[in-house]
A = this chain, B = another copy of it.
């Protein structure tokens, strides 16, 4: 390998796992300079003090632990919940929208600490590298980017462990890691292992957040979620902080086995992959907001928002968070949901979040219209004119077709 360009200081998105740990000595060896490790707390189950210690032991020169939970929820999760939370018809984007906020924090630290390069531990075949690097380009286009997994020769867990031993990187005495996982306050993802064969069911012991159906209570539990302009604000009538609200819903949903997904998805880099996801509280929120929108958003807006939601989710999935088009879509959505205020009651039972009632001060559902005696608001006779106008092109075409058919018939022979 040629002598690489050397850097003064490299800012690394550090998770504490084996993958990002071996990057620290590798960067020093290959690119020189000091390492600033940024540890992002986006709500994953981690002991951040231990992660910090590990970073230092592994050679990091500076370590920043950043608590991003609240910003993550309010600036990334809520907008996506409102705009388009579902990719490929099932995936709730848990990993996708965590990458931009981590990368953004990393850029901020890099600029504050005078780094001239950014690095991450994503592989070269996944979406996360795209999400990190597109954020870098948007926020610090002048910084150099180092993606070790696209450069080095380490290409298996075994070679990673070997490299770690050679470079005194502490290795945890855990059993062999089967699945590749990513967790935050919204979800946990699982990839690899038995999942690599889409013909196989995910093994029950793969799931970590949610109970299996056999373990869930036999009795349903009701929960009521309050929204203001599309933003979740309360649970069972009690206003909660964003983090408190999501943790509460995670707890409830996990107990009832809600939020598991098994998906064959279309990666941005061009291949299909298989993943499994647990998004307990998020599943309640996605269910609930949809019901409240059904009550408060008119048909034309709902239709356009449904189309936009497909594209919103696609852009979030693809890492195009810091883009003008996402901001423009947010403007549309904020306007469209300005009246999506109210409460949705869900019945949690055996893995289901069943809607059990929706109310809103801005409800467009009119009991008067739904009932028999709707005279003042709506005259049934209006439907005739409506049908006649809607049907005019259909009728015209049918008449013209018939006329043409008539004309093309051979003339009867006359005697």
Contact = CB atoms under 8 A, between A and B. Distances in A.
A383 B324 contact: no
Taking the full assembly, how many copies of this chain does it contain?
Answer: 4
Contacts of A269: 382-383, 386, 389, 392
Contacts of A386: 130, 269, 382, 385-386, 388-390
A322 interface: yes
Contact of A331 (B89, B320, B335): B335
Contacts of A196: 367, 370-371
A272 interface: yes
A300 B271 contact: no
A382 B384 contact: yes
A320 B300 CA distance: 10
A228 interface: no
Nearest to A139: B398
A194 to B, nearest CB: 11
Contacts of A361: 404
Interface string A73-89: 00000000000000011
A46 B366 CA distance: 34
A378 B392 contact: yes
A393 B364 contact: yes
A98 B290 CA distance: 27
Interface residues of A, number: 126
A333 B354 CA distance: 32
A171 interface: no
Contact of A378 (B125, B324, B325, B335): B125
A377 B392 CA distance: 8
Given A300-B315, A331-B332, A133 B294 contact: no
Interface in A311-336: 311, 314-315, 318, 320, 322-325, 327-336
Interface of A: 88-89, 123-125, 129-130, 133-134, 137-142, 147, 149-150, 155-156, 196-201, 213-214, 218, 262-266, 269-274, 290-291, 294-295, 297-307, 310-311, 314-315, 318, 320, 322-325, 327-336, 345, 347, 349-352, 354-359, 361-367, 369-374, 377-400, 402, 404
18 contacts: A88-B302, A129-B383, A130-B383, A133-B391, A150-B380, A150-B384, A201-B356, A270-B392, A271-B393, A273-B370, A298-B323, A300-B393, A307-B307, A320-B390, A364-B397, A382-B388, A383-B385, A386-B389
